[in-house]
Structure 1
């Protein structure tokens, strides 16, 4: 549902502001509470997913959102996580407006946030590493303590994220901890995963075709599989800086298919057929894989997952029949992991929750 919706947006008691909206976000929010989502920009967004959604999504700038909060006075306001450092000032403005709006109406606004940042506490501030780590952490501690006072409910998506916030807050962590809850971001099983068409020999890469998503490591691992005479097939779906390199590499390889900028229907079709999903994320400057939406989509469709320890759900994956590669830079290890995942057969979605973790977190934040 878009801004052409009949319902007036001023009637919503709960709003969420997110700097970015994606098709996968919309699908995850679908099972959640009735929240008005205001977003800054669209990334990897299939308009058909947005238009068919039962929820309301409106593009809006941060300043316009602040004005809307002051005017409408919602009871619940969800803001971006505080350690999204590039958006920290925006988040602060949203929180101040939420509390002012509540005070003007003689009531308390329930402010909340969903946190998945799992980068080392000493790197998040983007301060040169020649500066001692304690000082780099101190740069963030003061503003984060302020957010601790302004945010009344904290939901952490991974244990790794909790550890990051605890490391930054130091002695002030207890104040946030008392207001926090851990809700794993596990998906619910996708309806199309119940259709009997999976092939364990099909491997799918889904995501941005960039260095930090482990593209070079995947290609090297696949070349190793070819040397071994593997019968696996690879489908690469996505787009990005390396898409032409990937297309050139795939030429002459009958067991490799590349789809650039696929539609959501194509993605679901590939996920339904794939037996293995691979995402070999690696750190890059101040970036670390927080969760990896393709991993969640793979789980939702019953795929065996092959990934690295960078994701915040690595421990859960390792404990539940998936493969966490120790050294993605070793083609032999990547090749072996892909082969083992394929040989392990289908992964049952029976252990997944009925409501996906992001929607469950939203219920906790807006109740």
Structure 2
């Protein structure tokens, strides 16, 4: 949409925009989407029929000041990279109210399960964090409704930020998917493992590649499909060239991702923490569950407790290749169906309905 004004009464403010946001937007009531950066998994064709505006923080605030938006979804307050942008947009809407406009409701969906204020940083980074921390606390105080996607996120926020000083509504709505509508098909390969995600260290691609020869030794018919793109693409290409049991699919379209997940038995995402990052949920985990895959992951995800309680395999971050291989083999040999464990309504859609209730 090329326009100087927002015509909808709902808006969503993202620092980065990805295909999952766009897919979900098609299933939700109309809302303008303001964003700054396209994610690596952004597919332009999914913007068709949506109001999508790329804008820097000051421009986004200006658009909101002149809009009729009555409910704004912002990035979660503990996402410090978005804090000042969210603060600017909230301030614009509060100024609009002072000038006689309607007060807007500010809502947020929160997944952070590691406080950014506890990370060990250098002096320069600590000064920068102190600045963004001021913005984050302002955003938190101004937010009217927060839905936590995991209980781990709720606990993190309780420890990291002061108790709300006003009537903020809080709820935990688990970030669990409903079964995907494409799942009613044939072609399941019981020996197929999928890695889906960015080709980077923190998503665990090197870990699954290190574990794979051990999986193959124990389950000779096992096959690994690697899907995504990223900095370690050359390493993925080399592994696929050297091992005929590995299939590599670079930057697949959404239809191919669904097809591959539909035929897979196991999804592996062995996320590893860094000094500044911890897996909040892991979209590949959610998509794997939606396609009835058994999950192999680490305790980093905010869904770790739920996954372990429901028969999936959760290992410690930094575990040995053999320990990860044993978990993958267990998942292959004792597959666990998620169909009966999942909600009938996607958790993110349920959270959205609650966040925007009364809007």
TM above 0.5, yes or no, is yes
Shift of 1:115: 1.3
User: CA distance change for structure 1 residues 71 and 177 in 2, over 3 Å: closer, same or farther?
Assistant: closer
Q: Deviations over 1:228-250 (max 9, x none)?
A: 35321100011111110121122
Residue pairs, 1:31-46, within 5 angstroms: 31-43=27-39, 44-46=41-43
Contact 1:137 1:168 in 2 (8 A): no
Residue pairs, 1:292-307, within 5 angstroms: 292-307=282-297
Q: Which residue of 2 aligns with 1:212?
A: 202
2:25 to 11, 19, 29: 29
Task: Find the aligned partners of 2:97 and 2:352 in 1 and give their Cα distance.
Answer: 20
Q: Which moved further from structure 2: 219-228 or 266-275?
A: 219-228
User: CA distance change for structure 1 residues 162 and 260 in 2, over 3 Å: closer, same or farther?
Assistant: same
1:262 to 252, 260, 274: 252
The answer to whether the aligner puts 1:58 opposite 2:53 as a matched pair is: yes
Task: Find the aligned partners of 1:189 and 1:287 in 2 and give their Cα distance.
Answer: 29
Shift of 1:104: 2.5
1:148 to 136, 140, 144: 140
Shift of 1:144: 4.1
The answer to whether the aligner puts 1:108 opposite 2:103 as a matched pair is: yes
Task: Find the aligned partners of 1:140 and 1:40 in 2 and give their Cα distance.
Answer: 18
Contact 1:138 1:168 in 2 (8 A): no
Task: Find the aligned partners of 2:250 and 2:166 in 1 and give their Cα distance.
Answer: 43
Task: Find the aligned partners of 1:190 and 1:141 in 2 and give their Cα distance.
Answer: 38
User: CA distance change for structure 1 residues 136 and 37 in 2, over 3 Å: closer, same or farther?
Assistant: closer
Q: Give the number of the structure with larger relative contact order, counting CA–CA contacts within 8 Å between residues 6 or more apart.
A: 1
Task: Find the aligned partners of 1:327 and 1:22 in 2 and give their Cα distance.
Answer: 26
Contact 1:123 1:136 in 2 (8 A): no
Contact 2:77 2:140 in 1 (8 A): no
Residue pairs, 1:134-145, within 5 angstroms: 143-145=135-137
The CA RMSD over aligned residues, in Å, is 2.7
Contact 1:122 1:136 in 2 (8 A): no
Q: Which residue of 2 aligns with 1:67?
A: 62
SS of alignment partner, residue 191 of structure 2: strand
1:164 to 150, 156, 159: 156
Task: Find the aligned partners of 2:181 and 2:318 in 1 and give their Cα distance.
Answer: 32
Task: Find the aligned partners of 1:215 and 1:182 in 2 and give their Cα distance.
Answer: 31
Contact 1:209 1:243 in 2 (8 A): yes
Contact 1:29 1:359 in 2 (8 A): no
SS of alignment partner, residue 276 of structure 2: coil
| TM-score normalised according to structure 2 size | 0.90
Q: Which residue of 2 aligns with 1:14?
A: 10
2:83 to 71, 88, 105: 88
SS of alignment partner, residue 15 of structure 1: strand
Q: Deviations over 1:148-207 (max 9, x none)?
A: 3211111211111122211122xx325479521111111122111111222221100000
Contact 1:17 1:37 in 2 (8 A): yes
Q: Deviations over 1:6-48 (max 9, x none)?
A: xx96331111111111112222333333222122122211223
Shift of 1:252: 3.2
Contact 1:76 1:109 in 2 (8 A): yes
The runs of 4+ residues in structure 1 deviating greater than 6 Å are 135-141
Q: Which moved further from structure 2: 173-182 or 294-303?
A: 173-182
Contact 2:13 2:74 in 1 (8 A): yes
| TM-score normalised according to structure 1 size | 0.88
User: CA distance change for structure 1 residues 229 and 113 in 2, over 3 Å: closer, same or farther?
Assistant: closer
SS of alignment partner, residue 196 of structure 2: strand
Contact 1:123 1:286 in 2 (8 A): no
Size of the alignment, in residue pairs? 356
1:47 to 28, 39, 44: 44
SS of alignment partner, residue 312 of structure 1: coil
Contact 1:121 1:164 in 2 (8 A): no
The answer to whether the aligner puts 1:99 opposite 2:99 as a matched pair is: no
